[in-house]
Structure 1
Amino acid sequence: MAGDPRAGARGYERFPHPVTERAATTERAWRRPRSARPGAPNVVLILADDLGFSDVGAYGSEIRTPHLDALADTGVTYTNYHTNPVCSPARASLLTGINSHRAGFAEVAHADPGLPNNVLELPDDAPTIAESFQAAGYATIAIGKWHLAKESHMHEGADQHSWPVQRGFDRYFGHLDGFSQLFHPHRLYVDNSLYEPDPDDDSYLTDVYTDRAIGYLSGLRANEPEKPFFLYLAHTAVHAPLQAKEEDISRYRGVYEAGWQQLREERFAAQRALGIVDEHAELPDEDPDFEVAAWDELSASQRELYARYMSVYAGAVDNMDQNLGRLIEHLKASGDFENTIFAFASDNGASGEGGPEGTRSYLSKFVHDVEPPESWRVDLETPLEEVGGPRSAIHYPRGWARVSATPYRYFKGHTYGGGVRAPLIISWQRGIGDAGGGAAAESPAAA
């Protein structure tokens, strides 16, 4: 078939020009990577873990969160944002935009019951937000907790199709499991490979996450000055075990000695003043299924320990905000800040898993059939000054979880407001005209 302009073209049907037998007579074409439209905004999605509705300043908290509060002042503070009551379902819905049962996560990614609504891996027919951004010409980065692969697939020899890189992220650094320690975390991954930190390294994981995020963004800008990015920063904090740096804990020394009833009332008053709740709202009655001891009925040693627990929690939240400040400064230096959409939320409400007394050994809460081994006794007897540090694994009492959930009742794992209401702040310096516009929906009554 000499002279046929399609001669030798079998297998090249997708090439845009006729293919001949000679390169000299074949018109050339180059595949151009898909690029985002000029001026497309960057997107930073920050997800806290088990953070209560009232735990940041813009929602009435005494915890220092000046950088989040500044985003709220220049953006929109939502008062009626609903999420799922536990980790994996919330993340599946957030990243796919569909109901968690349709996304395969009726519960957290550990058991594998073999049911269609609970396959515990992201479905092939539902693209993640990262895959959509990638298709639109964005760079995509995931940092932190994933918790969207079944437990039997959380190792480097497993099927990885429900891991971050396989679901639309160019780069990943974090842990696949439901929680880890903030000092000496276990089983971190870089992309698809296990990362082995120095066992003597006392770095704090929230700081490490931000270092990684800044490093990846710096590498992107060194090579692609104009390419927009999607950064999903999913913090391990403040999921138990609660840990914080001593300088952050000490900032709250003396703050929580007044007790959980008083702090809850103070937060509620602040929420009224801020318009987070209606001025006629009232705090609900005590939870009938979760009694909380009166603070003045506790012993002096209990009050001292419980105040320390909450100081650790506050220090971890404070540190998250400090790291947001570091990220913002980097984006200002790179010229990206003004055209970056920030969204901050929590995956679910505050956790009452610490029980009525809290615990110095959060991991022991998962041992149901046998007594904790003797080697754990050192954890149970952690000296007060080490509570919340690298040698402890604590969780705060549910009295403090009630404070975190203000003004709502119940906690993570429940479909009451305390489990499914979470803070949501969205800010975009260049694009939101109604800066500080307040709630996007009518403020709900607390009861």
Structure 2
Amino acid sequence: MEPGARGYEGFRGRVGEFASDSEPSWSPRAAPGDDAPNIVVMLIDDLGFSDLGPFGGEIETPHIDGLADGGWVFTNYRTAPMCSPARAALMTGLNPHRAGFGFVAHIDPGYPGYACELPAAAPTLAESLRAGGYATFMVGKWHLTLESRLHDGADRSSWPLQRGFDRYYGAMDGFTSLHHPHRLVQDNSVVDMPEYPDGFFLTDELTDRAIGMIDELRVNDRRKPFFLYYAHTSVHGPIQAKDVDIDKYKGHYERGWNALREERFARQQARGIVPAHAMLPEDPIADGDRIPDWDGLEPAERELFARHMEVYAAAVDEIDQSVGRLLTRLEELGERENTIIVIASDNGGTAEGGPTGTRSYFSQFGLHGGVPDGWVTDVPRDIADIGGPRLFGQYPTGWARMSNTPFRSFKSSTYEGGVHAPLVVSWPAGAHAPGLRDQFVFVSDLAPTLLELAGVDRPARWNGVAAPEIDGGSIAEILADPAAPGREQQYFECIGRRAMIEGDWKAVSPVAPSPAEGASGGSWELYHLASDPTERVDRADEHPERVRDLAERWRQEAWRNTVFPLDDDGTLHTVRPSTEALLSEPVRLVPFRPPLERYRSARLTVLRSFEVQAELELGAGAAGVIVAHGDQGGGYLLALEGGELQLSYNAYGAMRRCRVPGPGAGRHSVALSVRADVGLRWSFAVVVDGVERIRMDDLPMLVGMAPFTGISVGHDYGGPVDWELYERYRSFRFRDGRILALDYVPGERSPEDPTVLRAIDLEMRDLVD
């Protein structure tokens, strides 16, 4: 196929049709009738291939097991290596880069394949179904809007309601705390919930909301079919769970990751999830250099690492509980039989916790430039707090390898561990031939399949222009016929890591090529997946011509799918549009409102000096939070308590506090001055009426995704910065006084900030001229 050509040759048949010459088992309808199925798509974040019971896991998932027993279990399903690209492909039926998501929605370099916005001309699955007469609901993680357009003054054209959903409730960012979410959005507005009630847990809340949306529809319309997209925020980090569920798994993981990985593999082979001839990859190709030897660990280390996995298992268990609650409600409504349920992961399990895991998630997450020597990536804390609201954790690499059994590598990799994911489909009314399916299916196939089964046509034109031809193809025939063929090929790319599957062969290039090597150059490995599904034996030296052919095929697909430019020098992460400069201008904040959105707040503070200027009018008993930014993952807070002024600094879980006598009654100026020093350090000074009263030097700078909860004034919104203050006063609303004004004034950027604000719009105009 020539670069730039449309269509997709990977299916044996035209795109959008079955991969065989047989007639469809389900005929399309012009509009949904009384027999139109409901559709539920449940996407789980960062779930490994083997974590669910049907795929060999020991975690209790009885409700998902039940769906698998009467439905279809796909053993050869692949997705994108990261979450936003997978979600974009799921929503549009396009390949990730053509859907605008060559990476997660935290970059904006100005290239079509990395726009991090769904194309306006491509109708989403929700838009197609709504146009076909469906009610459309979503709860959970969106992560398909540029982070610079998540704030309350942003253009909402890429928010869920504007992309086809009638109702939405969840976290639009990439993840959040499950105990104290940093920001929840209902429909188009931020949820004003300054204090979460005791026992609040987001997975339960999302399930309540999902059931509520269905109930409210049924009260008013008994026949209208619905589409529910339930995108779990679990089990993405920070991995958290409820105590009652964590307790269920105490002692389950004391034997270590290697023993349990082998047990999962044995169950997979016994169930036919992986072929009998498959073998577990061994070190060193199985990341042994990143995984400590369990038998050589100290008892305290084993206890710590086992706790991390107990929490992860509890989180997966809680996802299954949400499935059970939803199924129960559908049964009560008499709608379970004619509801299609799809359960999948968006990518492979992640190794971002590092060899020993972390209790300080943000100390190493989202850092693209590395950290200085001596940087603490796991602040020591009571292991009983792992999973709870006081701690943001992530499990160690050894457990991630177990999650991805039997494959090698992890999320963001183009090896099978990054892209080979679980997929279960259930539809009792349409289950003509349930069971295992080993056909190659890709995430972009799901949208056309669901439209096919619903009898709804994808609009040929959208927003006044021709809709781009989809890349996926319906797999409805595979559901009906275990012998029906699947797709033949698919390209993969993430951060310059490349792969190409064609038939039984897969070429993998695990690192980006240099500019001199060219698009199809660099180092390529070759695996014969039919005989070696776990990529153990590199056969590139045996078949150099096949390697060249697959590399060239990848290059052609890359041109067609707007993959270029590859991120071979890091500029895709550092270049952003000059329009974002507006987000770094000084701002006056209003007391007692929901916090300034995360990214908007970050433009004022992260990797730079800044000053907070407050004008206060205090009564004799003035007390409460003046300003707070962050949460238990990292942040800072200035408050009055008991006649004293306190500065709290939470360095990814390590607390520093300083208290001095506070200003008396009357009007006062209070300034928090923060200086960015070399080595990713900050110095804090609090100046009251022109006199320095507090100073903290040599603080680890909060960088990457921290502070995560945005800036709040007059209270500490949501997840607290200082847990001790929270235990005494909860959000500690400011009282007996007034915050007359509070301004953030950004200062000089840190010399370690690599960001380049480029006038991309002007450069593109020059190219066109």
Tell me whether the two structures share a fold, i.e. TM-score over 0.5: yes
Deviation, structure 1 residue 440: 4.1
Q: Which among 237, 241, 245 is matched to residue 234 of structure 2?
A: 237
Classify the secondary structure of the residue corresponding to 2:280. coil
C-alpha distance in 1, partners of 2:233/2:433? 32
Q: In structure 2, what is the Cα distance between the partners aligned to 1:389 and 1:242?
A: 9
Per-residue Cα deviation, 1:148-171 (whole angstroms, up to 9, x for no partner):
000100112101111110000000
Counterpart position of 2:212: 215
Aligned residue among 260, 263, 267 for 2:260: 263
Q: Name the SS of the counterpart of 1:282 in structure 2.
A: coil
Aligned to 2:534: 446
Is 1:154 the counterpart of 2:150? The answer is yes
Q: Deviations over 1:166-200 (max 9, x none)?
A: 00000000111111111101111001100123424
For residues 9-408 of structure 1, what are the structure 2 equivalents within 5 Å? 36-201=32-197, 202-288=199-285, 291=289, 292-366=291-365, 380-408=379-407
CA distance in 1, matches of 2:436, 2:77: 13
Aligned 8 A contact 2:177 2:240 in 1: yes
Amino acid at match of 2:223: E
Tell me if the contact between 2:355 and 2:396 (Cα under 8 Å) persists in the aligned partners.
yes
Over residues 193-237 of structure 1, what are the superposed CA-to-partner deviations in whole Å (9 max), with x where a residue is unaligned?
A: 001234242411111100000001000000010000000000000
Identity %: 54
Aligned alpha-carbon RMSD (Å): 1.9
User: Contact 1:287–1:409 (CA<8 Å) still a contact in 2?
Assistant: no
| Structure 2 contact 107–114 (Cα < 8 Å) conserved | no
Distance change in 2, residues 1:172/1:267 (3 Å)? same
* 2: CA distance, partners of 1:69 / 1:372: 47
Amino acid at match of 1:159: D
Q: Quick one: which amino acid aligns to residue 104 of structure 1?
A: G
Measure how far apart 1:290 and its partner are: 5.3
SS in 1 for 2:409: coil
Secondary structure of 2:213's counterpart equals helix
Q: Please say if residues 203 and 319 of structure 2, whose CA atoms lie closer than 8 Å, have aligned partners that are also in contact.
A: yes
Tell me the secondary structure at the aligned position of residue 169 of structure 1: coil
Q: Could you give the per-residue CA deviations for residues 78-120 of structure 1, whole angstroms, max 9, x where no partner exists?
A: 0000100001101000100001111111101011100111111
Q: Deviations over 1:268-308 (max 9, x none)?
A: 00000110011121101225455211100111100000000
Contact 1:35 1:138 in 2 (8 A): no
Q: Aligned partners of 1:244, 1:371: CA distance in 2, in Å?
A: 32
Distance 1:303 1:106 in 2: 38
Indicate how the Cα distance of structure 1 residues 290 and 188 shifts in structure 2: closer, same or farther if over 3 A, else same: farther
Letter in 2 for 1:48: I
Structure 1 counterpart of 2:429, one-letter code: R
Q: Residues of 2 paired with 1:338 and 1:119: CA distance?
A: 40
The Cα of 1:72 is off from its aligned counterpart by 0.3
For the residue of structure 2 that corresponds to 1:380, the secondary structure is: coil
Greater CA deviation, 385-394 or 266-275? 385-394
SS of the residue 1:242 aligns to: coil
Query: Does the 8 Å CA contact 1:42/1:341 hold for their aligned counterparts?
Result: yes
Which letter maps to 2:249? Y
**How far has the Cα of 1:319 moved from its partner?**
0.5
Asked if structure 2 preserves the Cα contact closer than 8 Å seen for 1:242 and 1:395, the reply is yes
Give SS of 1:72's match: helix
Look up the equivalent residue of 1:340 and give its one-letter code.
T
Q: Would you say the 8 A contact 1:141–1:169 is kept in 2?
A: yes
Give the greater-gyration-radius structure (CA).
Answer: 2
How far did residue 255 of structure 1 move? 0.8
* Contact 1:101–1:117 under 8 Å retained in 2: yes
Secondary structure in 2 matching 1:55: coil
Secondary structure of 2:219's aligned partner: helix
Taking the aligned partners of 2:241 and 2:44, their CA distance within structure 1 comes to 15
How far, CA to CA, are the matches of 1:287 and 1:408 in structure 2?
Answer: 13
- Which residue identity lines up with residue 74 of structure 1 in the other structure? G
Partner of 2:473: none
Pick closer, same or farther for the CA change 1:290–1:87 going to 2, 3 Å: farther
Stretch deviating more after TM superposition (190-199 or 102-111): 190-199
Q: Partner of 2:114: helix, strand, or coil?
A: coil
Relative to structure 1, the CA distance from residue 403 to residue 370 in structure 2 (aligned partners, 3 Å threshold; closer, same or farther) is closer
Checking the alignment, whether the CA contact within 8 Å between 1:277 and 1:446 is kept in structure 2 is: no
Instruction: Give the Cα separation in 2 of the matches to 1:77 and 1:407.
Output: 17
d(CA) in 2 for partners of 1:290 and 1:170? Answer: 48
CA shift for structure 1 position 439: 2.1
CA contact (8 A) 1:76 1:440 kept: no
Deviation at 1:446, TM superposition (A): 3.0
Q: Aligned letter for 1:278?
A: P
**In 2, Cα distance between the equivalents of 1:67 and 1:422?**
19
Amino acid at match of 1:148: L
Q: Which protein, 1 or 2, shows the higher relative CO under an 8 Å CA cutoff with sep ≥ 6?
A: 1
Q: Would you say the 8 A contact 2:346–2:421 is kept in 1?
A: yes
Given that 1:276 and 1:439 are in contact with CA atoms closer than 8 Å, whether structure 2 keeps it comes out as: no
Alpha carbons of structure 1 residues 81 and 394: separation in structure 2 relative to 1, 3 Å: same
Deviation at 1:438, TM superposition (A): 1.4
Structure number having the greater strand percentage: 2
Helix, strand or coil at the partner of 2:185: strand
**Partner letter of residue 230 of structure 1?**
F
Is the CA contact (8 Å cut-off) linking 2:72 and 2:424 kept in structure 1? yes
Question: Which stretch has the larger CA shift, 46-55 or 274-283?
Answer: 274-283
Alignment of 1:412-431 (within 5 A): 412-431=411-430
| 1: CA distance, partners of 2:77 / 2:387 | 31
Partner Cα distance (2:38, 2:302) in 1:
46
**Structure 1 pair 354–424 and aligned structure 2 pair: CA distance change class (3 A):** same
Q: Which has the higher helix share?
A: 1
SS at match of 1:186: coil
SS in 2 for 1:70: helix
Deviation at 1:36, TM superposition (A): 1.8
- Looking at structure 2, the residues matched to 129 and 73 of structure 1 have their Cα atoms a distance apart, in angstroms, of 27
